[in-house]
Structures are given as C-alpha cells and as structure tokens.
Structure 1
Amino acid sequence: MKIVVIGGTGLIGSKTVAILRQGGNEVVAASPNNGINSITGEGLEEAMAGTQVVIDLANSPSFEDKAVLEFFETAGRNVLAVEASAGVRHHVALSIVGTDRTPENGYFRAKVAQEKLIVASGISFTIIRSTQFMEFLGGIADAGTQGNVVRLSPGMFQPIASDDVAAAVAGVALSAPRNGIVEIAGPERAPFNEIVARYLKAAGDSREVVRDPEARYFGGLVDEQSLVPLGDARIGRTSLDQWLAQAKKG
C-alpha cells in the first residue's frame, strides 16, 4: 500500500513512517525539506500519485491565533483537493481530545476548522483525537511559569507517549475509514498540576507547581472534562512513570 505522511519527519510522523515501512508499505515522508509543501502545494500531486492513504500530521510553525488558523485551513484545503483528484481512499488526521470544548484556545479553534474541512471534503476519513503528548510536559510547564512558580489548573489530564500515538495512527491508517472520530489517551488520569509536578521532580527541576483553577492552558480555562476523553478511548501502553524512566535514560 502507498501511504503519504504529511509532516512525516516530525515527532509523530517519523515514528509513524518507521512503523508503516516495517510493515512493508510504500511510505512517502512528506515535508517542505524534501520538496512537498502543504501550504504552497509544491510536490503534492507527484507525491500522491497512486496513493491509497494520506496521513496528515502537519503542524503550524506559529501558535499565534491568526497564523495557526490560516495554516490549518490552507494546508487542509490544498491536501484534500489533491487527494480528491488522485482518488485517495482514506484521509487520516491527528487532532486533539477536547478541541471543540475549549473555544478560547486559538490552536484548538484551528483544529476544529481543520476537522470541518475534512468532514466536508467527501473523502473517506478517520480523525484521531489525542490527549497531550508526554513529550510536551516541559513546554507546558514553561508556558505556565512565572518566576520559579508554575501555575496550572487541577483539571483532569491524561497524557500519552508519542510512541503510542504513532502506533495508533499507523493502525488506523491500515484499517477501514471510520468516517468519524477515534480518541486515544494515556493510561493514567490525574490533575494537570500533579502530572506536571511529577515530571519536574523526575527531571530534577526545582520549580514549584501551584494548583490554580484560574490558570489558562494556552488561552483556555481547563476543567474536569476539558482535556480528557468523555467516552470510549484507545489507551496507550506507556505509563507516565515508564516514560519518565525512559526519558532519564535518554
């Protein structure tokens, strides 16, 4: 099977490409660095010739509200238009659990816009909504830091390891389209502030984590249900403690 992975050299993309190639599939790891650009459209037609499945893992270089919305809308329209012409049979996209429940978060609004384009495209699809990656815990702590204090919501949080995300994405790509949403999450659910405190302690970081119900996550308030699956979800295999131990070795 020929599969094109948009954003195929990124964190999730590179892992997904490796899994799919190990399974004997013909995989194109598409990125601007190898002449395939979802924003300009460069190289998309050539890459998608004879392709059965496209996995869209592209991410905006800017998280500023207007820029990220323009990125996902432009890239989405370009990719879906070429897919329609090429006769692609399955569009797989990675999104975020709760992206439609925190409208104050500009990045989440942009992912909602991307999802709407996919649903309206007429191409068979599966949208994978993932909880936040464990690899992003350091950046999340930094975003909430004031001086030596990290202010974070006590809302529920259920991070997932990138290896488990990639495995789920590859599995969905090799399955029939759902024409709907699949949610994935890590095996442990705990308050946001407690998860990040455990990460910082394991990393030997002396910053103090303060429980603050008014703390915002990239612009949006986080409650008990904002960032975790509300129904059935596929659960990753890697626990936070396992991931922290691996990160220390790395």
Structure 2
Amino acid sequence: MKLTVIGGTGLIGSQVVQKLTAAGHEAVPAALSTGVDLITGKGLDQALEGAEVVVNVANSPTFDEASLDFFRTSMTNLLAAGERAGVRHQVILSIVGVDQVPELDYYRAKTLQEDLLRQGPTPYSIVRATQFFEFMNATMSWTSDDTTVRLPATRIQPMATADIVDEVVDVAIGSPLNGIRNIAGPDVFALDDLGRLTLAAQHDNRTVVTDDKAGLFAAVTGDAIIAGPDAHLAPTHYQDWIKSAR
C-alpha cells in the first residue's frame, strides 16, 4: 500500500514512515524539506500521486491564534489535493479532549481541523492522543527559572511517542473509522507531581511549586484531557520510559 505521511520528517512522522516501511508499505514523507508546502499547496499533488492513504501529523509552527489559520488552510488544501489524487482514507493525529478546552487557541485550531476533515469528501480517521512523554521538559521550561518550576495540578495521562506511532500506523493501514480512536498512557498524574518525578529522575535539584495559573495547562479543568473508558491504553509507563531516556 502507498501512504503519504504529511509531516513525515518530524518526531511522529519519521517514526510512522519507518514503521510503515518496515511492514512492507511504500511510505512517502512529505514536508517543507521535501518540497511540500501545505499552506501554498506547492508539491502536494506530486506527493499524493498514487497514494491510497494520507497520514497527516503536521503541526502548526505556533500554538497561538495563528494556529487556526494554519490548520484551516492546510486541511482545506490537503483534502482538495487528496480528492484530486483519488485518496481513499485521510488520517489525522489530534488530542484527547481537544474540544473540551476552548480557552486554548491551539485546541480550538485542532478542533477546527477535525471538523474540516469530517465535512470533507474522503473517508477519514481521527486518532486522538494524550500528551507526549517527550514534551515534559518543554512544558516545564515555559514556567521555570534557575531554582523553581511552577506547574498546575492539572490531571494528565501522557504516553510515549512510540506507542502513538503504533496506533497511528494501525489505523492508517485499516479501514477508515469515520470517527475517533482515543489513545492514552496507562497512568494518570497531576502535572505538578509529574514534574517532581521528572526532576528527581534527572537529578535536577529545582523545586516544583504548585501554581494553578502557570503555563498552557492552567486552562484545563477537571478531567478534560483524561481519556475515557473507550480509550486504547498504551503499554509504556512514564517511570520506565524516563529511566531509559536518561
């Protein structure tokens, strides 16, 4: 099967390409570095030529209000190019609970992307994942200094990107869901506690201060980004992952 992976040179996309190729499929990475521009449409028709499936894991360069324009334009261009190419299945990677946090510009942008896909001309699948283990250090960096990391007690259920890749590939080579698959890590943490666990594992002596107004996840309330009972739970535990990551 030929699949085009949009964002196929990034953290998730490169692993998707590798896993599809190892399984005997023809996986074509498409990104700015390969001559494909989602915003202008340049190179899209060539990248999608002969593809049965498009896997879209491209991300906005910003997390602010500009992300709305990115996902609106990129999804519109990709759906049109897919229809011209005869693509039979469009897959996107989204976020668990993405439609439950309208206060966040980026979450509203991803919700818009999902809506455009649903309304599009092609059978589709949406894979909603929880937060990535790999982004924990970046999350802490937003609200930290030399001695302190400030984090809210937001409940999250993070997962390893390798487990996300497994699920994306499984959906991509299967029949279109015409719906959503939720995937999540096996454990739920308060974000401030996860920060403490992370710093301890990295032998970082900074102190985590609980601050429910700190950072991006301060806008999340309750269990908005915790997976429900229908979710596929990944096998990798954060404590095991961070030991191996060191």
Question: Shorter-chain TM-score category?
Answer: over 0.9
Give CA deviations for 1:119-139 in whole Å, capped at 9, x if unaligned: 010211110111000000001
Structure 1 outlier segments of 4+, above 6 Å: none
Instruction: Report the Cα distance in structure 1 between the residues aligned to 2:36 and 2:153, rounded to whole angstroms.
Output: 41
Give CA deviations for 1:68-118 in whole Å, capped at 9, x if unaligned: 111111111110110111111111000011111111111101101111110
Instruction: Report the Cα distance in structure 2 between the residues aligned to 1:99 and 1:69, rounded to whole angstroms.
Output: 14
Give CA deviations for 1:11-37 in whole Å, capped at 9, x if unaligned: 000111100000110111001101112
Offset at residue 150 of structure 1 (A): 2.1
Give the equivalent residue in structure 1 for 2:150: 151
Instruction: Report the Cα distance in structure 1 between the residues aligned to 2:153 and 2:243, rounded to whole angstroms.
Output: 24
User: Is contact 1:15-1:163 (8 Å) kept?
Assistant: yes
Instruction: Report the Cα distance in structure 1 between the residues aligned to 2:86 and 2:157, rounded to whole angstroms.
Output: 37
Among 226, 229, 247, the alignment partner of 2:227 is: 229
Instruction: Report the Cα distance in structure 2 between the residues aligned to 1:131 and 1:190, rounded to whole angstroms.
Output: 12
Give the equivalent residue in structure 2 for 1:239: 237
Identity between Structure 1 and Structure 2 (%): 41
Offset at residue 49 of structure 1 (A): 1.4
Letter in 2 for 1:224: G
SS in structure 1 at match of 2:69: helix
Give the equivalent residue in structure 2 for 1:72: 71
Unpaired segments of 5 or more residues in structure 2? none
Normalising by structure 1, we get a TM-score of 0.94
Offset at residue 147 of structure 1 (A): 5.7
| Pairing 1:107–2:106 present | yes
Instruction: Report the Cα distance in structure 2 between the residues aligned to 1:80 and 1:134, rounded to whole angstroms.
Output: 30
User: Is contact 1:127-1:180 (8 Å) kept?
Assistant: yes
Offset at residue 224 of structure 1 (A): 2.8
Give the equivalent residue in structure 2 for 1:161: 160
Instruction: Report the Cα distance in structure 1 between the residues aligned to 2:73 and 2:218, rounded to whole angstroms.
Output: 24
Instruction: Report the Cα distance in structure 1 between the residues aligned to 2:34 and 2:71, rounded to whole angstroms.
Output: 20
Instruction: Report the Cα distance in structure 1 between the residues aligned to 2:202 and 2:135, rounded to whole angstroms.
Output: 13
Give the equivalent residue in structure 1 for 2:18: 18
User: How do 1:152-231 residues align onto structure 2 when only pairs under 5 Å count?
Assistant: 152-212=151-211, 214-218=212-216, 220-231=218-229
